[in-house]
Structure 1
Amino acid sequence: MESRISIERTGEHARSAGHKVKYLVLLITSLVLLLNYADRAALGVAGSEIIHEFKLTNTEFGLISSVFFVGYAPFCFVGGWLSDKYGPRSIMAIAGCWWSIFTALTAAGTGFLSFMVVRFLFGFGEGPQGAITVKTMSNWFPQRQMGMAVGISQGATPLGGALGTPLVAALIASTGDWRIPFIVLGVLGVLMMIGWWVIVRDTPHVHPWVGRPDQLEPAVAEKKPTEEENNQPARPLSWYLRQPLVLATSAAFFAYAWVLYTFLSWFPVYLVEDRGINLKAFAFAGALPWLLGMVGYMAGGVITDKIALRTGKPAAARRGMIIFGLLGTAALMALLGNVSSAWSAVAVMSAVVMLLYLTGSQYFLIISDTIPGKRLGGVVGFVHFIANSSGILAPLLVGMLVDYTKSWPLTFGLCAAICLLGALVILIWGKPRNLS
C-alpha cells in the first residue's frame, strides 16, 4: 500500500514537473523572440540618424533594409528544415548567437556598403526563429493549446518592438550616439541564448527536469511519437509545398508581411521626417502600435483555439481569422493616407498593427493543424520564406516611391491593395484539409 502511494506521489511530482517545464520553455522562447524583434526594430528607430550622418537617400536606406530579407527569407526555410533534421534547440542557439553578433556589428557601420553587408549577414540568424518556434511549441504542447502557445511566443515579437523602440530611442537621445543601442542589444542576445540552451530540450521526453516519460502529465505525454509514427514513411517535403492550402497560406502571409515590413522599416522615418515627431515623442508614439499588436497576436491564438474547440475545425477557424484580419487591415491602410495629423496617423497605424497581428499566429497554426510533425519545420519554414520575401521588395519599393513621388498615401494604398489580394487568395484556394 505504502509502495503504491509512493509511486502515485512520484507520478504526481513528475507530472507537475512536466507541466512547469513546458511553460518555462514557452517563457524563454517568448523572451528570445522579444529580443529578436527589438534587434530588428532598432534600425528603423535609428534610421533618420543614420540617413543624416551618412547622407543616404531614402532609396539607399530602403536597400539597406531590404538586403536583410535577402539573407533572412531563405533561412526561414533552411532553419525550419534543419530543425526537422537536428532539432530546434541547437539550431535556435546557433541562430540567436549569430544574429546577436551582427546586431552589435551594426554599430561598426561606416557607410552604405558596410551596412549592406552587416544587415545581409544579420538576416541569416534571424530567419530560422519562426519555424523553430512552431516546431518547439508543437513538440511541447498538444494541438488544443497550440493557438495559445504560438500566440504567446510569437506575440512577444511586437512586445519586442514595443520595448525596443523606446529603449533605442531613449539611448540615442541620452547618449547622442545611435551606435550604443546596437551594442547593448547584441550583448543581451548572447546572454539570452545561454539561457535558452540551459532551459530548452527538443522534446519533453529527453528533458532532465521532467522525470520519467511514463509519468509525464497528459498534455506533455501525448506529444511523444509512437513507434508506428516513427516508422511510418512521410511524403517528400516537395509534395507538401505544392499543395493549394500551403501556397494560399503563403500568399496571405506575404500580404501580412508586406504591411508589417513597411511599418517596421518606414513608419518611424515617416513620423520623424514627414510629421515632425522628435525622438523623445517617438519613444511613446513608436511603442503604441507594438503594444496593441502584442494584444492582437496573443488574442488571435486564444480566440481561434476556442472556436476550434467548439466547432472541431481548427484549420477553418485559423483561415477565417486570416480573412477577417487582412480585410480589416486593407480598409485601415487605405484610411491612413488621408489622416490630418501625426497623432491620428499613430492611432490608425496602432489599429492596423493590432488587427494585422490578430492573424499573426494563424499562418503557422493552419500549417501545424494540417501537416505531420516530421515535415512541420520544413513546411512552416517554406511558408515563412515566401512571406518574408516581401521584405526584400517592400522597404526598397517604399523608398523609391517616396523619393520619386513624395507620396506616403500611395505607399499606404499599395499596402491596402496587397492585403485585399491576400485575403482573396486564401478565401478561394485555401480551403483546409488534412495533408498527413
Structure 2
Amino acid sequence: MLSKGRGFILVMLFIAGVINYMDRSALSIAAPFIQKDLQLDAAHMGMIFSSFFIGYAIFNFIGGYASDYFGAKKVLTTSMTFWSIFAGVTALTFNFISLFIARVLFGMGEGPLSASQSKMVNNWFPKKSRARALAIAMAGTSLGGALSGPVVGIVALNWGWKISFVVIALIGLIWTAIWVKFVRELPSNQEVDEEDDDVVQVNAPVGKSGKTPLSFYLKQPTVLFTAVAFFAYNYILFFFLTWFPSFLIDARHLNVKEMSFATMIPWTVGFIGFTLGGFIIDFIYKKTGNALFSRKVVLVTCLLGSAVSIGFAGLVTTTTGAVTLMALAVFFLYLTAITYWSIIQDTVEKKRVGGVGGFMHFLANISGIIGPTVTGFIVQSTGKFTSAFLLAGGIAVIGALCVAFFVKPISDKNNPAAVNNK
C-alpha cells in the first residue's frame, strides 16, 4: 500500500493534519489567557470559538470543488499558506472584533484541508486500501490536538500566548515549502500497480467535469444523511476541542499546566481510534465484500458509543471520571472518522469526490458555528456544563440512526448521465 511514492504522500498528509489541529486547538488551550487579556466572558468566548467555523464551513465546499477543478496539490498549498499566515495574525489581535475577524479568515484557510486530503488519497490509492490510507492520512489531526496542549500551554506560560501562535504559523509555512517541491498531483504511469483491482486513474484530467452533474449528488439522501451523521460527529469533536479545556479549569478546578496535559489523554486515545478505524473497516470489507456495509456498521455502532460516553462524562462528579469518559467518547468518535469520507468515495464518481465531499463537510461543519456558541450560552445561563454534554450525546444518537436507516447505494434512476448513456 505504501510503495511507489504513496508512503511519502501519506506522511505529508499526516503531518498536515498534525499542524491543522495544533493550530486549530491552540485557541482553546490559550483561552484562559486570552479571556483575561482581552476581557471576554463565556458567551463572547463561545462566539469566538464559533467564528472559526463561519469561514471554515463555507470553504469546505469551495475547497472541495476547487480540488476537483484545480487539483488537490494546489488547493492544499494555498490552504496551508493562508491559514498559517492568519494563525500568526492571531497574535496581533487586541479585542473581541479583531480576534473574531482573524478567526473567520483562519477558518477560511483551513476549510479545504479534509476534502483535499480525501482527493489526494483518491488519486493515489486503490479502493481495497483506501480506508486505511484515509485513516493514516487524517489521523494526524488527533495527534496535533494532543501536541497542542503541552506545546501551546508551555509556550504561553513562559513567553505569552501570542508567541505560541507565531511558532505554529512558522511550522505550517515550512511544511508548505516541502509540499510544493516534492509532491505531485497524480502518480506516474510507472507507479501504477497493474494488479490493483481498482487502479488509480492516473490519466484522468484535472479541471474537467464528470458526466454526472454535481447537483445530482447534492440532492441524494445518502449524501445528506451522511452529512447529518458527520454534523453529530463534529458537534462532539468541536465541543471537546473548544470547551473541554475551559471545563477542566472552571468546573474541575485544574490549573493551566494540569489542564494542558489532561487534554492530551483523549487526543492520544483518539489517535489510536482514528488509525484503528480504517483497518477495521477494510477487514470487514474484505470479509463481507460489501464496502458500504463495512462503513455503516462501524459508523453506527461507534457513534452510539461516543454518544453514551459523552453523556455520562457530564454527569460524573470526579475529574478522573470526566477525563476517562471523554477519552472513550473521542476514541469511539474517531473510529468513525473516515467512514463519512469513505461513503462518499464509494458512492460518488471519481471526478465528483472533491465537490461532493466538500459539500458534505460544509453541512457537517455548520455544527461548529452553532455548537460552541450554544455551549457558551448554556454555561453563561446555568453556570454548569452538564446540559451541554447531554445535548452533544443526543445529537450523536440522531446521527447514528440517520445512517442506519437512510444511507444506501445511490441509484442511477434519476442520474442524467446514466439516462443519457442508455
TM-score between both structures, scaled by the size of structure 2: 0.94
| Other-structure match for 1:3 | none
**Residue 246 (structure 1) aligns with:** 223
Match of 1:343 among 320, 323, 326: 320
Which residue, 54, 57, 61 being the options, matches 2:38?
54
- The runs of 5 or more residues in structure 2 that have no matched partner are 413-417
Shift of 1:181: 0.8
Rate the CA distance shift 1:230–1:264 in 2: closer, same or farther, 3 A: closer
The secondary structure found in structure 2 opposite 1:193 is helix
User: How many corresponding residue pairs?
Assistant: 412
Please say if residues 68 and 207 of structure 2, whose CA atoms lie closer than 8 Å, have aligned partners that are also in contact.
no
Relative to 1, partners in 2 of residues 1:98 and 1:113: Cα closer, same or farther, differing over 3 Å? same
Partners in 2 of 1:400 and 1:39 — Cα distance? 25
2:402 to 416, 420, 425: 425
Distance in 2, matches of 1:39 and 1:217, equals 37
Shift of 1:284: 1.8
Q: How does 1:234-313 map to 2 (within 5 A)?
A: 234-313=211-290
What is the CA–CA distance in structure 1 between the aligned matches of 2:277 and 2:260, rounded to whole Å?
Answer: 26
**Offset of residue 344 of structure 1:** 1.6
Deviations along 1:311-343, one digit per CA (max 9) or x if unpaired, are: 111111111111011111111122112211122
SS at match of 2:5: helix
* Corresponding residue for residue 146 of structure 2: 162
Q: Is the 8 A contact 1:19 1:217 kept in 2?
A: no
Q: Which deviations, in whole Å up to 9, do the C-alpha atoms of 1:116-165 show, x marking residues without a partner?
A: 01000001110000100000001001011111110011111000001122
- Which residue matches 1:217? 193
Q: Contact 2:210–2:351 at 8 Å: present in 1 too? A: no
- Provide the C-alpha distance between the structure 2 equivalents of 1:170 and 1:188, rounded to a whole number of angstroms: 17
Give structure 1 stretches of 5+ with no counterpart: 1-15, 206-212
For the pair 1:186 / 2:169, whether they are aligned, the reply is: yes
In 2, the alpha carbon distance for the partners of 1:416 and 1:393 equals: 15
Task: Report the equivalent of 2:346.
Answer: 369
| Alpha-carbon displacement from aligned partner over 1:257-277 (angstroms, at most 9, x marks no partner) | 001001101000110121111
Structure exhibiting the larger radius of gyration computed from Cα positions: 1
Counterparts of 1:60 and 1:187, CA distance in 2 = 28
Q: Alpha-carbon deviations, 1:201-247, whole Å to 9, x = none?
A: 11002xxxxxxx25643378921256899999521001001111111
Q: 1:361-389 CA distances to partner (integer Å, 9 max, x unpaired)?
A: 11001111111111000000011111111
Q: Deviations over 1:88-130 (max 9, x none)?
A: 0111000100000000111111010000010000011100001
Task: Please state whether the residue corresponding to 1:19 is helix, strand or coil.
Answer: coil
Moved more, 306-315 or 81-90: 306-315
Residue 333 of structure 1: aligned partner:
310
Q: Is the contact between residue 214 and residue 355 of structure 2 (CA under 8 Å) also seen in structure 1?
A: yes
Instruction: Name the SS for the 2:317 alignment partner.
Output: coil
Q: Once superposed, what is the RMSD of the aligned Cα atoms?
A: 2.0
Is the 1:371–1:434 Cα contact (8 Å) retained in structure 2? Answer: no
Letter in 2 for 1:164: S
Contact between 1:80 and 1:378, CA under 8 Å: does it hold in 2? yes
- CA deviation vs aligned residue, 1:250-308 (integer Å, no higher than 9, x gap): 00000000010011010001101211111221232011110111111111111101111
1:30 to 7, 10, 14: 14
State which of 43, 50, 61 in structure 2 corresponds to 1:77.
61
Distance 2:98 2:195 in 1: 49
Q: Aligned partners of 2:78, 2:318: CA distance in 1, in Å?
A: 44
Match of 1:91 in 2: 75
The one of 95, 100, 106 equivalent to 1:122 is 106
Equivalent pairs: percent with the same residue?
Answer: 37
- TM-score by length of structure 1 reads 0.91
CA distance in 2, matches of 1:419, 1:227: 38
Q: 2:116 aligns with which of 132, 135, 140?
A: 132
Contact 2:124–2:186, Cα closer than 8 Å, also in 1: yes
